[in-house]
Chain A
Amino acid sequence: MSDSHYIPKSKVGKWFNDRLPLLTLANHLTDYPTPKNLNYWWTFGGILTFCLITQIVTGLVLAMHYVADTKLAFASVEHIMRDVNYGWLIRYVHANGASMFFLAVYIHIFRSLFYGSYKSPREIIWIIGIIIYLLMMAAAFMGYVLPWGQMSYWGATVITNLFSAIPFIGEGITTWLWGGFSVDNPTLTRFYALHYLIPFLILGLVVLHIWALHVPGNNNPVGIEIKKPSNDTVPFHPYIVIKDAFALLLFMIVFAFFVFYTPNILGHADNYIEANPLVTPAHIVPEWYLLPFYAILRSVPDKLMGVIAMFSAILILVALPWLDTSKVRSAVFRPLYKQFYWILVLDVLVLGYVGAMPAEGLYLLVARIATAYYFIHFLIILPFLGLIEKTNPVPLSITEPVLAGAAMATKSAGENKIENNLKSLG
């Protein structure tokens, strides 16, 4: 990296930096050459960092007032909502923050899928990202249990029972997870401890995620490797910082709208009823961000196979860099992949929708087709598409097609296509 020779100007700075090169790090982060054609879909990395920090800070505050005891948990949440100064605000930010976090992470993932950011040499960034996503789901699930409402209790019961599907040792594992013979006080306290731990694991992984990113540098909408630094890049500060800040503010407006005007719309009314082990709510659904996987789980009629299908749906993403055989990264230059990409987006939305509906009749049929298509996309379509697809010509640099176009009197069909593609990058 070009910044390894950075020398601080002040004497004190140099003395400190020789012992702990924090200033070198800061200099690397500010000067980090970033492709200048990044679009707004790239701002979600910064937004996700904001989400993580918000969850940790508000969570820390809630932990000062929350009591992890089956007899007191529900009342302590009501205490936060009623009596603690700004308690209502902090809890609503935390609860809606989880949803906003997932909204941002889905956009982030689908951006990566569109522009092929998971491909060589960025496989490790992608895999760390998948682990972060898995940890996020674990944290969100355990956090949802803590208020000890009806959905908390029955969600915990249903999800922990997934493990009972494992042959021979399943029952033992479930009992071990519960620390009893049903979801009860020991379960609540351990979920609380883990819910507190996981965000810090995520934080550590985020550092690795960014570290791994800074080795090859950002992918970009054109999907080509670029020289850094060069005409094609801008320093991270102030160019990318200010753009991320602007996108973050727009995101915060949406966030604020949820928190202040419809704070409970993403939750479930039953969770304002205290947990009752004797009565199951009429209709159990997980939070919206888990619905696609819930649909996959229910679409398989066998208990064990359903669980396997659900976990495979996530783990299959780890193999994605090798399942996608195309050498071209960005969907902009892959006319066929672009179509399949949008079909996959629709497929996941459909899965999410049927996940919220009762598992019967037409819904079940749709869920099964959508589940099958999900796996077909990754296991069959992507490997073959890379082999047969005729991609459009890819420019040599971000600035090249524009400059070349200005210099030449006549344009070839290929260059015309490049320009059109670049236009469609938005």
Chain B
Amino acid sequence: MSDKKQKNRRDFIFTATAAAGAVGVGAAVWPLVDQMNPDASVKALASTEVDISSVKPGQSITVVWRGKPVFIKRRTQDEINKARSVSLDELKHPEKDEDRVKNPEWLVMLGICTHLGCVPLSDKGEYDGWFCPCHGSHYDTSGRIRKGPAPINMEIPEYVFLNDNTIKIG
């Protein structure tokens, strides 16, 4: 009886030691992993303000936000109409143009192809929007994927119009 008790106690100590050791190793590994996450100075650069007063209808500018290109396109009425006349059934990733813009004249989106991260060329492709030269994805004037390997539409970042001439991204 006491032999068994002794054995149980021994097993308990072995298990407790191993468990406590494992917890410690886990805790020690975390800082080594977390150091690769964005640091405090990177996180602080989360927003960019852009002056759009000099962009004419039909033109687009590219600005850098968090190290990535953001397309700001001032669309013509023709382009807006084209984007809005498409029925959702034709779309691979159905989204209304109205849901992708805050002001129909201005399309603000991340200029990154959702396939493998290349930057698409503007005013190219079969839908007069963007065309990604890497693997041939075609986007329309609302930045929606219409043809090619990309799975979803180009992403819309968080942004606000501070006034008529300034957009704050992020």
* A303 close to chain B: CB less than 8 A: no
Q: Which of B31, B36, B41 contacts A83 (CB 8 A)?
A: B41
Q: Which residues of B contact A61 (CB under 8 A)?
A: 32, 35
For B41, what are the chain A residues with a Cβ–Cβ distance below 8 Å? 79, 83
Bitwise interface map of A from 73 to 115 toward B, beta carbon under 8 Å scored 1, else 0: 0000001001111110110000000000000000000000000
Which parts of A38-87 form the interface with B (CB within 8 Å)?
57-58, 61, 64-65, 79, 82-87
What's the Cα separation between A58 and B39 when bound, in Å? 17
Whether the pair B32, A87 counts as a contact (CB closer than 8 A) is: no
Shortest beta-carbon distance from A377 to chain B in Å: 42
Q: How far is the CA of A57 from the CA of B31 in the complex (A)?
A: 12
Residue of B nearest to A82 (CB): B40
* B32 in contact with A90 (CB, 8 Å): yes
Q: Give the chain A neighbours of B40 by CB distance below 8 A.
A: 82-85
B90: Cβ under 8 A from any A Cβ: no
Q: Are the CB atoms of A85 and B32 closer together than 8 Å?
A: no
The reply on B164 being an interface residue by CB < 8 A is no
Complex interface bits, B20-62 against A, C-beta within 8 A gives 1, otherwise 0: 0000000000011011110111100000000000000000000
* Assembled-state Cα–Cα distance A61/B39 (Å): 14
Determine whether the beta carbon of A84 is less than 8 Å from that of B32. no
Which chain A positions have C-beta within 8 A of B36?
64
Nearest Cβ in chain A — how far from B170, in angstroms? 19
With the chains together, A333 CA to B35 CA distance in Å? 53
Q: Specify which chain B residues have a CB less than 8 angstroms from the CB of A79 in the assembled complex.
A: 39, 41
DSSP class of A's interface residues: helix, strand, loop or mixed?
Answer: helix
Q: With a CB–CB cut-off of 8 A, which chain A residues contact B37?
A: 85
Please report the C-alpha to C-alpha distance between residue A65 and residue B39 in the assembled complex, in whole angstroms.
10
Would you call A90 and B35 a contact (CB within 8 A)? yes
B21: nearest residue on chain A (CB-CB)? A245
**For the complex, what is the distance from the CA of A82 to the CA of B40, rounded to whole Å?**
8
Residues of B38-95 at the interface with A, using a CB-CB cut-off of 8 Å, are: 39-42
Write the nearest CB–CB distance from A405 to chain B, whole angstroms: 31
Residues of B within 8 A of A86 (CB): 31-32, 34-35
Which residues of chain B are near A65, meaning CB under 8 Å?
35
B1 CB → nearest A CB, Å: 27
A77 to chain B, nearest CB (A): 14
Chain B residues, Cβ within 8 Å of A82 = 40
When distances are taken between beta carbons in the complex, the residues of chain A under 8 Å from B35 are: 61, 64-65, 84-87, 90
Most B Cβ at <10 Å: residue of A61, A83, A85? A85
B17 vs chain A, min Cβ distance (A): 9
A58 to B40 alpha-carbon distance, docked (Å): 20
| Complex CA distance for A85 and B37, rounded to whole angstroms | 7
Q: Which of B32, B34, B35 has the most CB of A within 10 A?
A: B35
> Are B39 and A89 in contact (CB-based, < 8 A)?
no
CA of A244 to CA of B34 in the docked complex: distance in angstroms? 30
State how many angstroms separate the Cβ of A393 from the closest Cβ of chain B. Answer: 40
A107 to B36, CA, bound (A): 36
In the assembled complex, which residues on chain B have CB atoms less than 8 Å from the CB atom of A87?
A: 35, 39
Closest B residue to A57 by CB, please name it. Answer: B32
A120 → chain B closest CB, angstroms = 39
A85 proximity list for chain B (CB < 8 A): 31, 34-35, 37, 39-40
Q: Let me know if A83 and B32 touch, CB within 8 A.
A: no
Q: How far is the CA of A84 from the CA of B35 in the complex (A)?
A: 6
Q: How far is the CA of A58 from the CA of B32 in the complex (A)?
A: 8
Give every chain A residue within 8 A of B32 (Cβ-Cβ): 57-58, 61, 86, 90
Chain B nearest CB from A27 CB (Å) reads 22
Nearest CB in chain B to that of A252: its residue: B24
How far, in Å, is B36 (CB) from chain A's closest CB? 7
Who on chain A is nearest to B44 by CB? A83
| A85 to chain B: closest residue by CB | B34
B31 touches A90 (CB 8 A): yes
Q: How far is the CA of A83 from the CA of B37 in the complex (A)?
A: 11
Q: In the complex, what residue of chain B is closest to A62 when comparing beta carbons?
A: B35
Interface centre among B36, B37, B39 (most CB of A within 10 A): B39
- B34 — which chain A residues lie within 8 A by C-beta? 85-86
- Enumerate 30 A-B pairs (CB-CB under 8 Å) in ascending A order: A57-B32, A58-B32, A61-B32, A61-B35, A64-B35, A64-B36, A65-B35, A79-B39, A79-B41, A82-B40, A83-B39, A83-B40, A83-B41, A83-B42, A84-B35, A84-B39, A84-B40, A85-B31, A85-B34, A85-B35, A85-B37, A85-B40, A86-B31, A86-B32, A86-B34, A86-B35, A87-B35, A87-B39, A89-B31, A90-B31
Known: A85-B37, A85-B39. 13 other contacts (CB 8 A): A57-B32, A61-B32, A64-B35, A65-B35, A79-B41, A83-B42, A84-B35, A85-B31, A85-B34, A85-B35, A85-B40, A86-B31, A87-B35
Listed in ascending order, the chain B residues whose CB lies under 8 Å from chain A are 31-32, 34-37, 39-42
Per CB-CB distance, the 8 closest pairs between chain A and chain B, nearest first, are A86-B31, A83-B40, A83-B39, A83-B41, A85-B34, A84-B39, A85-B35, A86-B35
